[in-house]
Amino acid sequence: MSQHQGHTARKRFGQNFLVSPGIVRRIVEAIAPRPGDLVVEIGPGLGALTAPLLERVDRLHVVEIDRDLIARLKEDWPPERLAIHEGDALEFDFAALGERLRIVGNLPYNISTPPLFHLAGYATRVRDMHFMLQKEVVDRMAADPGSGDYGRLSVMLQYRFDIERLFVVPPGAFNPPPKVDSAIVRLIPKKLGAGDTANSEETFARVVTAAFSQRRKMLRNTLRELMDEDGLAALGVKPTARAEELSVADYVRLANALT
pLDDT by residue (tens digit) across 190-236?
A: 998 878 899 999 999 999 999 999 989 999 999 999 999 999 999 99
Mean pLDDT of the chain: 92
pLDDT of residue 33: 98
CB hemisphere CA count around 144 (13 angstroms): 1
Assign 111 a pLDDT band (cuts: 50, 70, 90): confident
pLDDT of residue 201: 94
Domain-wise residue ranges, the chain: 3-191, 195-258
pLDDT by residue (tens digit) across 17-75?
A: 889 999 999 999 999 999 999 999 999 988 999 999 999 999 999 999 999 999 999 99
pLDDT by residue (tens digit) across 141-150?
A: 999 999 999 9
Assign 242 a pLDDT band (cuts: 50, 70, 90): very high
Q: Is the dihedral of CA 74, 75, 78, 81 positive or negative?
A: negative
Average pLDDT over residues 88-116: 92
pLDDT of residue 14: 46
- d(Cα 213, Cα 125) in Å, to the nearest integer? 31
Assign 108 a pLDDT band (cuts: 50, 70, 90): confident
pLDDT of residue 13: 42
- Phi and psi for 189 in degrees, rounded to 5? -60, 140
pLDDT of residue 41: 97
- d(Cα 19, Cα 28) in Å, to the nearest integer? 14
Residue 12 has pLDDT above 80, yes or no: no
* CATH number assigned to the domain with residue range 195-258, chosen from the 4 options 1.10.8.100, 3.30.420.40, 3.20.20.10, 1.10.630.10: 1.10.8.100
- d(Cα 141, Cα 90) in Å, to the nearest integer? 19
Please state, in angstroms and as integers, the Cα–Cα distance from residue 256 to each residue in 182, 245, 259, following that order. Answer: 36, 19, 5
What secondary structure, in 3-state letters, does the chain show? Answer: CCEECCEECCHHHCCCEECCHHHHHHHHHHHCCCCCCEEEEECCCCCCCHHHHHCCCCCEEEEECCHHHHHHHHHHCCCCCEEEEECCCCCCCHHHHCCCEEEEEECCHHHCHHHHHHHHCCHHHEEEEEEEEEHHHHHHHHCCCCCCCCCHHHHHHHHHEEEEEEEEECHHHEECCCCCCEEEEEEEECCCCHHHCCCCHHHHHHHHHHHCCCCCCEHHHHCCCCCCHHHHHHCCCCCCCEHHHCCHHHHHHHHHHHC
pLDDT of residue 6: 45
* CATH number assigned to the domain with residue range 3-191, chosen from the 4 options 3.20.20.70, 2.40.30.160, 3.40.50.150, 3.50.50.60: 3.40.50.150
Strands 7-8 and 3-4: antiparallel
Residue 187 has pLDDT above 90, yes or no: yes
Q: pTM for this structure? A: 0.91
pLDDT of residue 15: 55
- d(Cα 161, Cα 188) in Å, to the nearest integer? 5
Residue type, 215: R
Residue type, 121: G
175: left (phi over 0), alpha (psi -120 to 50) or beta: beta
